[in-house]
Each structure stands twice: as structure tokens, then as C-alpha cells.
Amino acid sequence: MDVKTALENRKSTRAFLDKTVPFEVINAVLEQAKAAPSGVNTQPWKVAVVTGESKKSLESKMEVEFRAGNKGVMDYQYYPQQWEGEYKERRKTCGLLMYSTLEIGREDKEKQINQWAANYRAFDAPVMLLFFIDKVMEKGSYLDYGMFLQSIMLSAVEHGLATCPQAALAEYPDIAREALGYDDEHVLICGMAMGYEDTSAIVNSYRTEREDLDKIVKYFT
């Protein structure tokens, strides 16, 4: 598969088949992705591959907290504290697109809660990846991590897998650290659902749009 095809086929998938992903396939994806660049070759990534009973236990703890109204707190500020301008509009459009596809109206609070709760189960994918970084590392290493994450998602496409990168899976970092045996010196950056796409699921049918180049790029000659 060429890069163009992988880039075009990658999407955030939110419904997966009940089909196990062999560890050798997961390892093949991660083996390719670790070629991603990093400043002075620091390779700051630390990956927890969570499946089976470990996943069921961890996702249950996070979902219980969410449904109890205990809002999670990430180890770092992912989103702006105040949404403004084009970013506010894109966020709104993104949410409306998903809920309209699922025919979940503003008044359907229970359905909204249930849909959001699926985040903490990694949308019932067979594999949950959690990404940690040593607390000593700074912002540059977070940029490096982004390249690593994209490499995972593109390699996954080549291997017939679907993914969904998730900030939500990092909203209860203390629960994740305790469950998986990581100490407080490890920052939980984000998570990712991985598995085989359920192509019959309506939630996987929509795609978010991207801006035209002339809005995001300036040429200086």
C-alpha cells in the first residue's frame, strides 16, 4: 500500500468487529512505527498494549467514574481552556456531524451519555493502546510523539486495521497508572482504539472535512 492510499483511508473508527488482533500483527505495526523521527533520537514513546481481561477491568473502572459524574483530569492541558473562532466552529461541526449521523438529538441526554461512555471502552475495540511519556520530557517530545502516533495509524491501515486516537482515554490517568503498574513519573498522553472496522456500523459512515490548502498555507518566494 502506498502512503497516499493509507493517508486517504485512515479515519477515526468508532465501531469494531468482535475479532481478535494477533499480537504478531500489533507488533508488526509498532515495529514499523518506531521508525518515526524524534529529536536527537530520544524515542520518548512507552506503549501499553491492553487487551482481554486487563482491558475489561481498566475500561470498567474508567466508565464507572464517568457515569458517576467524576470528570477526569488529564496530566496536561490538551484543549484550549476557552474555545474561540474557527476552532470553536470546527469542534461544533465535528460533534454535530457524529450525533446527526447517529440520529441523537440534543434532547437525547441518555443516548449522548452512552455514546460518550463508549470512549472509555475504546469503542469496544479488541485492543486499547495507551501512550506514556516520562515526565522529564518537554514539549518537543510531544511533537515527536505525534509523528509516532500517525505512523502507527498509517501502518495499521496497511495491515487491514482501523484505529481511533483518543484523548478521552487519558482523562483518568491515575486509574490507568495504578491498573497497569506505571508510576507518577509517567505522563499519560492519550490512547488509541485498534481493531477491525465494523463496516456495517452507521457511526463509521461519516467523514470530517479538511480545509482547503489556500486557507492554511502561505507561500513566500
C-alpha distances in Å from residue 85, one per residue of 24, 82, 149, 207, 215: 45, 10, 27, 22, 14
Share of the chain above pLDDT 70, in %: 100
> How would DSSP label each residue in 74-90?
-SS--S-SS--HHHHHH
Share of the chain above pLDDT 90, in %: 99
**Contact yes or no for 215/27 (Cβ under 8 A):** no
Mean pLDDT (the chain, rounded) = 97
**Contact yes or no for 46/186 (Cβ under 8 A):** yes
C-alpha distances in Å from residue 48, one per residue of 81, 89, 111, 212: 29, 34, 30, 36
**pLDDT tens per residue, range 98-111:** 999 999 998 899 99
**pLDDT tens per residue, range 173-199:** 999 999 999 999 999 999 999 999 999
pTM for this entry: 0.96
CATH 3.40.109.10 fits 3-80+120-205, yes or no: yes
**Contact yes or no for 17/198 (Cβ under 8 A):** yes
- Report DSSP state, residue 152: H
Question: What mean pLDDT comes out for the span 140-160?
Answer: 98
The pLDDT value given to residue 106: 87
Strand 127-134: give its sheet, edge to edge: 46-50, 127-134, 186-195, 162-166
The total number of residues written for the chain in this structure:
221
pLDDT at 131 over 90: yes
Question: What mean pLDDT comes out for the span 86-95?
Answer: 96
Q: What is the dihedral of CA 64, 66, 70, 75, to 10 degrees?
A: 110
C-alpha cell at 190: 492519550
The pLDDT value given to residue 75: 98
- The string over 91-107, giving b where at least 16 C-beta atoms fall within 10 Å of a residue's C-beta and e elsewhere, is eeeeeeebbeebebeee
Helices (H) and strands (E) in the chain, counts: 8, 4
